[in-house]
Amino acid sequence: MTRDVKYTVRELAEAVGGEIIGDPERAVTGIATLESAGDGDVSFCVAPKYLPLLAQTKAGAVIVPKTLRIPDTSPDRIAVAKIDEAFNTISEMFIPDYSRHMSGIHPSAVVDSTADLAPDVALGPGVTVSSQARIGAGTRILGGSYLGHEVSVGADCLIHPNVTLLDRVVVGDRVVIHSGTVVGSDGFGFTREAPGHPKQRQLGIVEIGDDVEIGACCTIDRARLEKTSIGRGTKLDNLVHVAHNVRIGENCFIVAQVGIAGSTVIGNNVILAGQAGVDSHLTIGDDIIIAGRSGVTKNLSEPGKYAGYPARRKGDEDRRRALTWRLPKMIDRLRELEKRVSELESEAENDRPSGDA
Protein backbone atom coordinates (compact mmCIF):
# COMPACT_ATOMS: atom_id res chain seq x y z
CA MET A 1 0.00 0.00 0.00
CA THR A 2 1.39 3.39 -0.91
CA ARG A 3 0.49 6.99 -0.27
CA ASP A 4 2.09 10.29 -1.27
CA VAL A 5 4.66 9.97 1.51
CA LYS A 6 8.29 8.98 1.62
CA TYR A 7 10.57 8.14 4.53
CA THR A 8 14.10 6.88 4.81
CA VAL A 9 14.96 3.76 6.76
CA ARG A 10 16.68 6.08 9.24
CA GLU A 11 13.45 8.02 9.84
CA LEU A 12 11.46 4.82 10.35
CA ALA A 13 14.06 3.51 12.79
CA GLU A 14 13.98 6.73 14.77
CA ALA A 15 10.18 6.56 14.97
CA VAL A 16 10.24 3.08 16.51
CA GLY A 17 13.56 3.19 18.38
CA GLY A 18 14.99 0.44 16.19
CA GLU A 19 18.48 -0.65 15.12
CA ILE A 20 19.34 -0.38 11.42
CA ILE A 21 21.07 -3.24 9.62
CA GLY A 22 21.70 -2.00 6.11
CA ASP A 23 21.34 1.27 4.23
CA PRO A 24 19.85 4.02 6.46
CA GLU A 25 19.15 6.29 3.49
CA ARG A 26 17.04 3.86 1.51
CA ALA A 27 13.74 5.51 0.56
CA VAL A 28 10.48 3.83 1.53
CA THR A 29 7.13 4.93 0.11
CA GLY A 30 4.68 2.24 1.24
CA ILE A 31 3.91 -0.68 3.51
CA ALA A 32 3.01 -4.20 2.36
CA THR A 33 3.15 -7.90 3.20
CA LEU A 34 6.30 -9.89 2.57
CA GLU A 35 4.60 -11.57 -0.39
CA SER A 36 3.37 -8.44 -2.14
CA ALA A 37 6.01 -5.86 -1.17
CA GLY A 38 8.11 -4.16 -3.81
CA ASP A 39 11.45 -2.40 -3.68
CA GLY A 40 9.91 0.78 -2.26
CA ASP A 41 7.93 -0.92 0.51
CA VAL A 42 8.63 -1.71 4.14
CA SER A 43 7.33 -5.02 5.46
CA PHE A 44 7.38 -7.06 8.68
CA CYS A 45 8.73 -10.47 9.62
CA VAL A 46 7.36 -11.24 13.07
CA ALA A 47 8.30 -14.89 13.70
CA PRO A 48 10.62 -17.69 12.47
CA LYS A 49 7.83 -19.36 10.49
CA TYR A 50 7.91 -16.38 8.08
CA LEU A 51 11.63 -16.69 7.29
CA PRO A 52 10.93 -18.55 3.99
CA LEU A 53 8.83 -15.56 2.88
CA LEU A 54 11.59 -13.21 4.00
CA ALA A 55 14.04 -15.08 1.78
CA GLN A 56 11.81 -14.42 -1.24
CA THR A 57 10.50 -10.94 -0.51
CA LYS A 58 11.24 -7.98 -2.75
CA ALA A 59 10.69 -5.50 0.09
CA GLY A 60 13.18 -2.68 0.34
CA ALA A 61 13.23 -2.86 4.14
CA VAL A 62 11.85 -5.22 6.76
CA ILE A 63 11.00 -4.67 10.43
CA VAL A 64 12.03 -7.65 12.58
CA PRO A 65 12.16 -8.51 16.29
CA LYS A 66 15.59 -8.14 17.87
CA THR A 67 15.39 -11.74 19.04
CA LEU A 68 14.86 -13.17 15.54
CA ARG A 69 17.95 -14.57 13.83
CA ILE A 70 17.99 -13.25 10.26
CA PRO A 71 20.24 -14.42 7.38
CA ASP A 72 22.81 -11.84 6.27
CA THR A 73 21.38 -11.96 2.74
CA SER A 74 18.09 -10.45 3.92
CA PRO A 75 16.95 -6.95 2.85
CA ASP A 76 17.79 -3.83 4.84
CA ARG A 77 16.05 -4.18 8.15
CA ILE A 78 15.18 -2.48 11.40
CA ALA A 79 15.39 -4.59 14.56
CA VAL A 80 12.93 -3.59 17.28
CA ALA A 81 12.07 -4.70 20.80
CA LYS A 82 8.28 -4.71 20.30
CA ILE A 83 7.21 -5.67 16.81
CA ASP A 84 3.48 -4.99 17.28
CA GLU A 85 4.09 -1.48 18.56
CA ALA A 86 6.46 -0.84 15.65
CA PHE A 87 3.84 -2.02 13.18
CA ASN A 88 1.22 0.33 14.63
CA THR A 89 3.59 3.30 14.56
CA ILE A 90 4.87 2.76 11.03
CA SER A 91 1.47 1.87 9.56
CA GLU A 92 0.09 5.12 10.97
CA MET A 93 2.89 7.01 9.21
CA PHE A 94 1.91 5.56 5.83
CA ILE A 95 -1.84 5.03 6.24
CA PRO A 96 -3.19 7.41 8.89
CA ASP A 97 -6.35 6.62 10.81
CA TYR A 98 -8.32 9.62 9.67
CA SER A 99 -10.95 9.12 12.38
CA ARG A 100 -8.26 10.22 14.86
CA HIS A 101 -8.15 13.59 13.18
CA MET A 102 -11.86 14.29 12.68
CA SER A 103 -13.13 17.37 14.47
CA GLY A 104 -16.25 19.40 14.91
CA ILE A 105 -19.93 18.56 14.65
CA HIS A 106 -21.30 17.81 11.21
CA PRO A 107 -24.24 20.04 10.18
CA SER A 108 -26.49 17.00 9.76
CA ALA A 109 -25.89 15.73 13.31
CA VAL A 110 -28.84 16.12 15.68
CA VAL A 111 -27.94 17.03 19.27
CA ASP A 112 -30.64 17.54 21.89
CA SER A 113 -30.39 20.86 23.74
CA THR A 114 -30.07 19.04 27.08
CA ALA A 115 -27.13 16.90 26.00
CA ASP A 116 -23.74 17.66 27.53
CA LEU A 117 -20.81 17.43 25.10
CA ALA A 118 -17.18 18.20 25.87
CA PRO A 119 -15.86 21.03 23.68
CA ASP A 120 -13.68 18.80 21.49
CA VAL A 121 -16.21 16.03 20.79
CA ALA A 122 -16.47 15.17 17.09
CA LEU A 123 -19.74 14.00 15.51
CA GLY A 124 -20.03 12.66 11.96
CA PRO A 125 -22.94 12.98 9.51
CA GLY A 126 -26.34 11.90 10.76
CA VAL A 127 -25.34 11.24 14.36
CA THR A 128 -28.16 11.55 16.91
CA VAL A 129 -27.49 12.51 20.53
CA SER A 130 -30.64 12.33 22.64
CA SER A 131 -31.79 14.17 25.75
CA GLN A 132 -29.47 14.38 28.75
CA ALA A 133 -26.78 12.30 27.05
CA ARG A 134 -23.17 13.04 28.01
CA ILE A 135 -20.04 12.66 25.88
CA GLY A 136 -16.51 13.05 27.25
CA ALA A 137 -13.50 14.88 25.91
CA GLY A 138 -11.84 13.65 22.75
CA THR A 139 -14.56 11.19 21.82
CA ARG A 140 -15.36 10.70 18.13
CA ILE A 141 -18.69 9.36 16.93
CA LEU A 142 -18.92 8.50 13.25
CA GLY A 143 -21.82 8.81 10.85
CA GLY A 144 -25.25 7.39 11.54
CA SER A 145 -24.72 6.40 15.16
CA TYR A 146 -27.47 6.88 17.74
CA LEU A 147 -27.16 7.72 21.44
CA GLY A 148 -30.36 7.39 23.45
CA HIS A 149 -31.71 9.22 26.50
CA GLU A 150 -29.19 9.61 29.35
CA VAL A 151 -26.48 7.67 27.56
CA SER A 152 -23.04 8.40 29.01
CA VAL A 153 -19.90 7.99 26.90
CA GLY A 154 -16.50 8.67 28.46
CA ALA A 155 -13.37 10.33 27.13
CA ASP A 156 -11.32 9.38 24.06
CA CYS A 157 -13.81 6.83 22.76
CA LEU A 158 -14.29 5.88 19.10
CA ILE A 159 -17.80 4.94 18.02
CA HIS A 160 -17.81 3.67 14.44
CA PRO A 161 -20.67 4.30 11.97
CA ASN A 162 -24.16 2.99 12.66
CA VAL A 163 -23.69 2.00 16.29
CA THR A 164 -26.75 2.13 18.55
CA LEU A 165 -26.42 2.95 22.26
CA LEU A 166 -29.91 2.80 23.73
CA ASP A 167 -31.24 4.65 26.78
CA ARG A 168 -29.03 4.91 29.88
CA VAL A 169 -26.13 2.86 28.52
CA VAL A 170 -22.87 3.77 30.28
CA VAL A 171 -19.60 3.60 28.34
CA GLY A 172 -16.23 4.18 30.00
CA ASP A 173 -13.09 5.87 28.68
CA ARG A 174 -11.09 4.80 25.62
CA VAL A 175 -13.76 2.39 24.43
CA VAL A 176 -14.01 1.36 20.77
CA ILE A 177 -17.31 0.09 19.34
CA HIS A 178 -17.52 -1.11 15.74
CA SER A 179 -20.30 -0.73 13.21
CA GLY A 180 -23.65 -2.43 13.54
CA THR A 181 -23.40 -3.11 17.26
CA VAL A 182 -26.45 -2.53 19.46
CA VAL A 183 -25.93 -1.94 23.19
CA GLY A 184 -28.88 -1.78 25.55
CA SER A 185 -31.56 -3.67 23.62
CA ASP A 186 -34.19 -5.43 25.72
CA GLY A 187 -33.34 -8.73 27.34
CA PHE A 188 -35.19 -11.78 26.08
CA GLY A 189 -37.85 -12.01 28.77
CA PHE A 190 -41.44 -13.23 28.25
CA THR A 191 -44.07 -14.93 30.40
CA ARG A 192 -44.67 -18.23 28.67
CA GLU A 193 -47.58 -19.29 30.89
CA ALA A 194 -49.77 -16.31 29.98
CA PRO A 195 -51.73 -16.03 26.73
CA GLY A 196 -49.73 -14.23 24.06
CA HIS A 197 -46.47 -14.56 26.05
CA PRO A 198 -46.49 -10.98 27.38
CA LYS A 199 -43.18 -9.20 27.54
CA GLN A 200 -41.37 -8.70 30.85
CA ARG A 201 -40.12 -5.12 31.12
CA GLN A 202 -36.35 -4.74 30.97
CA LEU A 203 -35.48 -1.73 33.14
CA GLY A 204 -31.76 -2.14 33.83
CA ILE A 205 -28.72 -0.76 32.05
CA VAL A 206 -25.56 -1.86 30.26
CA GLU A 207 -22.23 -0.72 31.67
CA ILE A 208 -19.08 -0.91 29.53
CA GLY A 209 -15.77 -0.50 31.36
CA ASP A 210 -12.67 1.45 30.34
CA ASP A 211 -10.49 0.21 27.46
CA VAL A 212 -13.09 -2.23 26.17
CA GLU A 213 -13.33 -2.94 22.43
CA ILE A 214 -16.52 -4.34 20.93
CA GLY A 215 -16.52 -5.76 17.40
CA ALA A 216 -19.03 -5.32 14.61
CA CYS A 217 -22.63 -6.50 14.83
CA CYS A 218 -22.56 -7.47 18.51
CA THR A 219 -25.69 -7.34 20.67
CA ILE A 220 -25.54 -6.61 24.38
CA ASP A 221 -28.88 -6.67 26.20
CA ARG A 222 -29.81 -4.48 29.12
CA ALA A 223 -30.50 -6.11 32.47
CA ARG A 224 -34.00 -6.67 33.72
CA LEU A 225 -33.46 -4.51 36.82
CA GLU A 226 -29.77 -3.90 37.57
CA LYS A 227 -27.00 -4.06 34.96
CA THR A 228 -25.33 -6.10 32.28
CA SER A 229 -21.61 -5.30 32.52
CA ILE A 230 -18.38 -5.78 30.59
CA GLY A 231 -15.22 -5.25 32.63
CA ARG A 232 -12.21 -3.09 31.94
CA GLY A 233 -9.92 -4.19 29.11
CA THR A 234 -12.20 -6.92 27.76
CA LYS A 235 -12.33 -7.42 23.98
CA LEU A 236 -15.33 -8.74 22.04
CA ASP A 237 -14.95 -10.01 18.49
CA ASN A 238 -17.67 -9.60 15.84
CA LEU A 239 -21.10 -11.24 16.17
CA VAL A 240 -21.05 -11.82 19.92
CA HIS A 241 -24.30 -11.92 21.89
CA VAL A 242 -24.36 -11.02 25.59
CA ALA A 243 -27.75 -11.60 27.19
CA HIS A 244 -29.39 -9.66 30.02
CA ASN A 245 -27.84 -9.58 33.49
CA VAL A 246 -24.58 -11.12 32.26
CA ARG A 247 -21.44 -9.86 33.99
CA ILE A 248 -18.11 -10.27 32.22
CA GLY A 249 -14.93 -9.54 34.14
CA GLU A 250 -11.75 -7.72 33.19
CA ASN A 251 -9.30 -8.50 30.38
CA CYS A 252 -11.39 -11.23 28.79
CA PHE A 253 -11.38 -12.25 25.11
CA ILE A 254 -14.76 -13.20 23.66
CA VAL A 255 -14.29 -14.52 20.12
CA ALA A 256 -16.72 -14.43 17.17
CA GLN A 257 -20.17 -15.99 17.42
CA VAL A 258 -20.01 -16.68 21.14
CA GLY A 259 -23.36 -16.60 22.91
CA ILE A 260 -23.67 -16.01 26.65
CA ALA A 261 -27.10 -16.69 28.14
CA GLY A 262 -28.74 -14.56 30.81
CA SER A 263 -27.45 -13.96 34.33
CA THR A 264 -24.16 -15.78 33.84
CA VAL A 265 -21.10 -14.37 35.61
CA ILE A 266 -17.69 -14.63 33.94
CA GLY A 267 -14.47 -13.91 35.83
CA ASN A 268 -11.29 -12.10 34.82
CA ASN A 269 -8.83 -13.17 32.10
CA VAL A 270 -11.28 -15.62 30.55
CA ILE A 271 -11.14 -16.65 26.88
CA LEU A 272 -14.25 -17.91 25.10
CA ALA A 273 -13.15 -19.15 21.67
CA GLY A 274 -15.27 -19.00 18.52
CA GLN A 275 -18.86 -20.29 18.62
CA ALA A 276 -18.64 -21.34 22.26
CA GLY A 277 -21.93 -21.22 24.12
CA VAL A 278 -22.56 -20.60 27.80
CA ASP A 279 -25.83 -21.56 29.51
CA SER A 280 -27.71 -19.21 31.80
CA HIS A 281 -27.21 -18.61 35.53
CA LEU A 282 -23.69 -20.06 35.58
CA THR A 283 -20.41 -18.86 37.04
CA ILE A 284 -17.11 -19.19 35.17
CA GLY A 285 -14.07 -18.43 37.31
CA ASP A 286 -10.89 -16.50 36.53
CA ASP A 287 -8.20 -17.68 34.08
CA ILE A 288 -10.36 -20.20 32.24
CA ILE A 289 -10.14 -20.93 28.51
CA ILE A 290 -13.14 -22.42 26.69
CA ALA A 291 -12.27 -24.02 23.35
CA GLY A 292 -14.17 -23.18 20.18
CA ARG A 293 -17.65 -24.68 19.70
CA SER A 294 -17.75 -25.89 23.30
CA GLY A 295 -20.90 -25.74 25.40
CA VAL A 296 -20.68 -24.74 29.06
CA THR A 297 -23.59 -26.26 31.00
CA LYS A 298 -22.33 -26.11 34.59
CA ASN A 299 -20.23 -23.86 36.81
CA LEU A 300 -16.48 -23.90 36.20
CA SER A 301 -14.17 -22.73 38.98
CA GLU A 302 -10.70 -24.24 38.41
CA PRO A 303 -8.37 -22.32 36.04
CA GLY A 304 -7.38 -24.17 32.88
CA LYS A 305 -8.61 -25.25 29.45
CA TYR A 306 -12.02 -26.78 28.84
CA ALA A 307 -13.52 -28.20 25.66
CA GLY A 308 -16.43 -30.20 24.25
CA TYR A 309 -20.15 -30.44 24.87
CA PRO A 310 -20.74 -30.44 27.72
CA ALA A 311 -17.46 -28.66 28.43
CA ARG A 312 -14.98 -30.66 30.49
CA ARG A 313 -11.24 -30.54 31.10
CA LYS A 314 -9.56 -30.37 27.70
CA GLY A 315 -7.36 -33.39 28.43
CA ASP A 316 -10.44 -35.48 29.23
CA GLU A 317 -12.19 -34.23 26.11
CA ASP A 318 -9.15 -35.01 23.95
CA ARG A 319 -9.10 -38.59 25.27
CA ARG A 320 -12.83 -38.95 24.64
CA ARG A 321 -12.44 -37.73 21.07
CA ALA A 322 -9.46 -40.02 20.47
CA LEU A 323 -11.55 -43.00 21.61
CA THR A 324 -14.46 -41.83 19.46
CA TRP A 325 -12.23 -41.71 16.39
CA ARG A 326 -11.11 -45.29 17.13
CA LEU A 327 -14.66 -46.62 17.47
CA PRO A 328 -15.15 -47.67 13.81
CA LYS A 329 -12.02 -49.86 13.90
CA MET A 330 -12.97 -51.15 17.34
CA ILE A 331 -16.43 -52.10 16.04
CA ASP A 332 -14.90 -53.89 13.05
CA ARG A 333 -12.59 -55.77 15.40
CA LEU A 334 -15.49 -56.64 17.69
CA ARG A 335 -17.46 -58.04 14.75
CA GLU A 336 -14.46 -60.14 13.72
CA LEU A 337 -14.15 -61.48 17.25
CA GLU A 338 -17.89 -62.25 17.43
CA LYS A 339 -17.65 -64.08 14.12
CA ARG A 340 -14.63 -66.03 15.33
CA VAL A 341 -16.33 -66.91 18.62
CA SER A 342 -19.38 -68.12 16.69
CA GLU A 343 -17.15 -70.28 14.49
CA LEU A 344 -15.37 -71.75 17.50
CA GLU A 345 -18.70 -72.50 19.19
CA SER A 346 -19.87 -74.28 16.03
CA GLU A 347 -16.66 -76.31 15.85
CA ALA A 348 -16.97 -77.24 19.50
CA GLU A 349 -20.57 -78.31 18.97
CA ASN A 350 -19.60 -80.51 16.02
CA ASP A 351 -16.72 -82.09 17.94
CA ARG A 352 -18.87 -82.96 20.93
CA PRO A 353 -19.47 -86.78 21.18
CA SER A 354 -23.06 -87.69 20.48
CA GLY A 355 -24.94 -89.36 23.35
CA ASP A 356 -26.44 -92.89 23.37
CA ALA A 357 -29.74 -93.24 21.59
H/E stretch holding 195 reads none
pTM: 0.88
Residue type, 35: E
Is 281 labeled as catalytic in the residue annotation?
no
d(CA 309, CA 311): 5
End-to-end C-alpha distance for the chain, whole angstroms:
100
Q: How far apart are CA 262 and CA 258, in angstroms?
A: 13
Q: pLDDT by residue (tens digit) across 232-247? A: 999 999 999 999 999 9
Q: What is the mean pLDDT of residues 68-75?
A: 82
Instruction: For residue 189, give the amino acid letter.
Output: G
DSSP-derived secondary structure letter, 260: E
What is the three-class DSSP state of 230? strand
**172 or 320, which is more confident:** 172
Distance of CA 315 to the CA centre of its chain: 25
pLDDT (tens digit per residue) in 199-223: 999 999 999 999 999 999 999 999 9
- Residue among 189, 218, 223, 219 at smallest CA distance from 206: 223
- CATH class of the structural domain 2-96: alpha beta
In the set 160, 178, 241, 244, the catalytic residue is: 244
Average model confidence (pLDDT) across the chain? 94
Q: Residue 343: its pLDDT value, please?
A: 85
Q: Are 230 and 207 in contact (CB under 8 A)?
A: yes
